[in-house]
Amino acid sequence: MKAFASSADLVAKEQTLEVLADGVYALTAEGDPNVGAIEGEDFLVCFEAMATPVAAAGWLERLREHTTKPVRYLVLSHYHAVRVLGASAFGADVIAAHDNTRALIAERGQQDWESELGRMPRLFRDPSSIPGLTWPTVTFSDRLTIHLGGGRGELVLTYCGRGHTEGDIVAWLPKRKILFAGDLVEAQAALYTGDAFHREWAAGTLDAVAALGAESLVGGRGAVARGEQAVSAAIRQTRDFLTTMLEQVSAVRAAGGTLRDAFMAAHSALAPRYGRWPIFEHCMPFNVSRLWDELSGTERPVIWTAQRDREVWDHLQD
Ligand SMILES: [Zn+2]
């Protein structure tokens, strides 16, 4: 029987800080959640907050080797706990997110915190340092532009449609053609789709991401995609993961099969290509469970609780 989710994954990952252009940074970590930062003339924009303030402080220490500018904006790509609960470490004037992200935190932020802590305890360095849920202070529905000043251009926060969650946004730096895509795109890491809208994500949402024409892309997990070919490959892999799941689970449903049959079929179809990528086994039970619900007409993802996590895991992944 497999250990629950990533509860047995306790070996720290190597973090790599990459300078993508003058004043544009990404910290990747072998498949752990990526974060980024963009310098304005006299301030910083940070992208994603990590799981705890103690974890985030480690990232800020690395960043401070490059710049001492204060953090004016903290941008949250979506509501998931491992992306938002470290926010207090940044001392940001503004915490920006999509309208739906704020609503999701109000609706299910507490449950998501408990769920993610149980699934991936390693990311929660000193969980007692989390002061509470993270509340965005500025939210928007379509687009929010941050003028960076000093000839650095602008950073455009854009909603591309429902995808990994109901409220994902990307951060786009047109002057440098660099895209921080959050969990809407993964580069050689498995997708987590337990809170997703698979059909929209695989179609219009990824089309909108691709249409930006990025030449460098920082996905939610995995290495930075550098160059148009690598960016296209990351988007293509993300779409293929989704469409393969959709094909398999739809076929099982049409044939009168069960959720467990659908899990087996999707797992078998994806494993040859994606089975060795980070968090594949962790994600699959939650992914197929949500997709099954979506195809059954359940409009919005059912809230994951620590208890429901275990029930679904025990039903599918043993
Ligand atoms: Zn996420």
> Model confidence over 88-130: pLDDT tens digits?
999 999 999 999 999 999 999 999 999 999 999 999 999 999 9
Cα–Cα distance for residue pair 155/145, rounded to 1 Å = 6
Question: Which pLDDT belongs to residue 3?
Answer: 87
> In the predicted model, what is the mean pLDDT of the chain?
97
Q: Ligand 1 center to residue 79 CA distance, Å? A: 7
DSSP-derived letter for residue 178 is E
- Mean pLDDT across 3-20: 90
Q: Which two tokens stand for residue 14?
A: 């190597």
Q: Which runs of E-coded beta strand occur in 112-266?
A: 138-140, 143-147, 154-159, 169-173, 178-182, 216-219, 225-226
Strand partners, 173: 178
Q: Ligand 1 center to residue 183 CA distance, Å? A: 5
- Mean pLDDT across 226-254: 98
178 backbone dihedrals φ, ψ, rounded to 5°: -110, 135
Question: Which pLDDT belongs to residue 11?
Answer: 84
Question: Which pLDDT belongs to residue 8?
Answer: 85
Which of 34-38, 41-45, 188-192, 290-294 is predicted least confidently? 188-192
* pLDDT confidence bin for 81, thresholds 50/70/90: very high
Kindly provide the b/e burial profile for residues 117-138, where b requires at least 16 CB atoms within 10 angstroms of the residue's own CB. bbbbbbbbbeeebbeebbebee
Q: At what angle do helices 259-274 and 280-295 cross, to 10 degrees?
A: 140
Q: Residue 167 pLDDT more than 80?
A: yes
Q: Residue 283 pLDDT more than 80?
A: yes
Question: Which pLDDT belongs to residue 12?
Answer: 86
- Mean pLDDT across 257-279: 96
Cα–Cα distance for residue pair 315/256, rounded to 1 Å = 18
Sheet holding 138-140, edge to edge: 16-21, 24-29, 32-39, 44-47, 71-75, 94-98, 138-140
Q: Residue 318 pLDDT more than 80?
A: no
Q: Ligand 1 center to residue 192 CA distance, Å? A: 7
Q: Ligand 1 center to residue 193 CA distance, Å? A: 8
Question: Which pLDDT belongs to residue 9?
Answer: 83
Question: Which pLDDT belongs to residue 278?
Answer: 85
Q: What is the 3-state secondary structure (H, E, C) of 34-81?
A: EEEEEECCCCEEEECCCCCHHHHHHHHHHHCCCCCCCEEEEECCCCCH
Report if pTM > 0.95: yes
Q: Ligand 1 center to residue 194 CA distance, Å? A: 9
Q: Ligand 1 center to residue 189 CA distance, Å? A: 12
Q: Residue 251 pLDDT more than 80?
A: yes
Q: Which two tokens stand for residue 203?
A: 């179609």
Question: Which pLDDT belongs to residue 260?
Answer: 97
Strand partners, 24: 21, 38
Please choose, from the candidates 273, 276, 272, 268, the residue with its C-alpha nearest in 3D space to the C-alpha of residue 249.
Answer: 268
Question: Which pLDDT belongs to residue 119?
Answer: 95
* pLDDT confidence bin for 188, thresholds 50/70/90: confident
> Mind listing the pLDDT tens digit for each residue in 13-46?
999 999 999 999 999 999 999 999 999 999 999 9
Q: Ligand 1 center to residue 75 CA distance, Å? A: 14
276, with CB counted inside 10 A (0-12, 13-18, 19+), is: exposed
Q: Ligand 1 center to residue 24 CA distance, Å? A: 22
Question: Which pLDDT belongs to residue 2?
Answer: 83
* pLDDT confidence bin for 175, thresholds 50/70/90: very high
What three-state secondary structure class fits 161? coil
Q: Ligand 1 center to residue 220 CA distance, Å? A: 8
Q: Ligand 1 center to residue 78 CA distance, Å? A: 7
Whether 164 contacts 192, CB under 8 Å = yes
Q: Which long-range contacts (CB under 8 A, 24 or more apart) does 5-9 make?
A: 5/118, 5/119, 5/120, 5/282, 5/309, 5/313, 6/119, 6/120, 6/121, 6/122, 6/279, 6/282, 7/118, 7/119, 7/120, 7/121, 9/120, 9/122, 9/282
Q: Ligand 1 center to residue 139 CA distance, Å? A: 18
- Mean pLDDT across 148-153: 97
Question: Which pLDDT belongs to residue 102?
Answer: 98
Q: Ligand 1 center to residue 150 CA distance, Å? A: 33
